[in-house]
Amino acid sequence: MTTNNRANFGTKLGAILAAAGSAVGLGNIWRFPYMAGEHGGAAFILIYLGCVLLFGAPIMMAEFVIGRHSQSNTARAYQKLAPGTQWRWVGRMGVLAGFLILSYYSVVSGWTLEYICAAGLGHFADKGPADFVNLYNNFVGNPWIPVLWAVAFLLITHFIVVKGVEKGIERSSKLMMPLLFLLLLVLAVCALLLPGAGRGIEFLMKPDFSKVNGSVLLSAMGQAFFSLSLGMGCMCTYASYFKPNTNLPKTALSVSLIDTSVAILAGLIIFPAAFAVGIQPDQGPGLLFVTLPNVFQQAFGHVPFIASLLAVMFYILLALAALTSTISLHEVVTAYLHEEFRLSRGKAARMVTGGCIVLGTLCSLSLGVGRDYTLAGMTLFDLFDFVTAKLMLPLGGLFIALFAGWYLDKKLLRDELTNHGALRLPVYGLILFLLKFVAPIGIAFVFINELKLL
């Protein structure tokens, strides 16, 4: 019964498309630029690329192997592959991480809905950089509106996870992804042509390694896990729907490549534009929302209709990209509650949505009326982001690498990666080396360095 429910979601959605849809989202377009902006630009980006190659791609392969071989949700996967051991906690921690991420991710997803309306109603017309900063601050500081949008976004996600409108999503994703990419390309060209954009390019391309400290390393590593949806069992759950002949290493590389290209492209829009209009790149979570409207205005402001049309299109595509990610987060938690606690899928999903509405509301308020309530100097929003992206996901990734590299039977690992010998995989030894040594030691090093564990 349970397998049917999940297969229903997975196979119809198109498992590989789902994996790419989960990876590409706000993490690339909203989070990547502000993280890079806060941590000095080019050096951060190089370290991020290193993390994607050395940790991200092999750990994604490991999640694929675990998911496809066990054919179960992330928590049960470990119970099947390592019965009676404590490895199941890796799956459980992932579920918790998914729940926490969904809570604050929905808040930002809600912002995209507000910006669709604002752009469509012509609120960007005749405005300048300072106006966009005010627009953003007033909106985020409002106690009601962002909360309502976050709830709306969660309800849309809920509806899709429960009712399953996979066909529609599959079709729209196939169209949406290339369209999003195309629009990002157009916007990058526009941003690069803005007077003063050169300093943004310099910021993106000229690394200053003297600024690299433990916090930069941890942020770049966390960003890699967050952006690739790794370390929490999302890719593992999706891989349980893959076909026996799906090429796992190739799929992992394609998803990583698509995801990274979108992030870099977002950087090529945000930084040239930010420098051109005099916005500091270390704005924090508002960076995308205060910078991008300037590109529409400055490049197309003389034809207001085109400016609005492009802006609306962009925010709709961004909302859809966020939606395929929120669905993946919701699905991991819902599948877990449904299968492990024998709740109906509807009930499981309602619990997830309800919980996220409560936590999401608190996260949203923590950016406005509640901004004075901080823990370790962080608002609740920042705290959720820190604990999940910088701690739980890399920690999950560390254990997944250890599990695949050391615990799992090597014949099983090789069989899954080569589809029982059908694929040639000359780099098998390299993948195993990365999983066994490079990823665990690297992640542990970054943790020790930043969190001063020793």
Q: Which residues bind ligand PHE (CB under 6 A)?
A: 22-23, 25-28, 101, 226-227, 229, 232, 234, 325, 328-329
Comparing CB distances to ligand PHE, the nearer of 229 and 298 is 229
Shortest separation between residue 151's beta carbon and ligand PHE, angstroms: 20
**DSSP label at residue 41:** S
Helix (H, G, I), strand (E, B) or coil at 378: strand
**Least separation in angstroms between CB 392 and ligand PHE:** 10
CB of residue 227 vs ligand PHE: minimum separation in angstroms?
A: 4
DSSP 8-class letter at 106: H
Cα 61 to Cα 413: distance, rounded to the nearest angstrom: 10
Give 240 or 308: the residue with its C-beta nearer to ligand PHE. 240
Decide whether 113 or 299 has the Cβ nearer to ligand PHE: 113
Q: Shortest approach of ligand PHE to residue 113 CB, angstroms?
A: 16
Q: Considering beta carbons, is residue 29 or 119 the nearer one to ligand PHE?
A: 29
- Residues whose CB is less than 8 angstroms from the CB of residue 261 and which lie 6 or more positions away in sequence, other chains included: 181
What whole-number distance in Å separates Cα of residue 412 and Cα of residue 134? 56
Residue nearest to ligand PHE (CB): 27
Q: What values do phi and psi take at 157, rounded to 5?
A: -60, -45
CB of 136 vs ligand PHE, minimal distance in Å: 20
Extract the tokens encoding 273. 């534009």
Instruction: Tell me, rounded to whole angstroms, the distance of Cα 342 from its chain centroid.
Output: 29
Under 8 Å between Cβ of 113 and 93: no
CB of 423 to ligand PHE, least distance (A): 27
Cβ proximity to ligand PHE: between 135 and 224 the closer is: 224
Say which DSSP state 283 is in: -
Task: List, in order, residues 6 or more apart from 144 with CB less than 8 Å away.
Answer: none
How far apart (Å, rounded) are the C-alpha atoms in residues 10 and 8? 6
Q: Smaller CB distance to ligand PHE: residue 288 or 299? A: 288
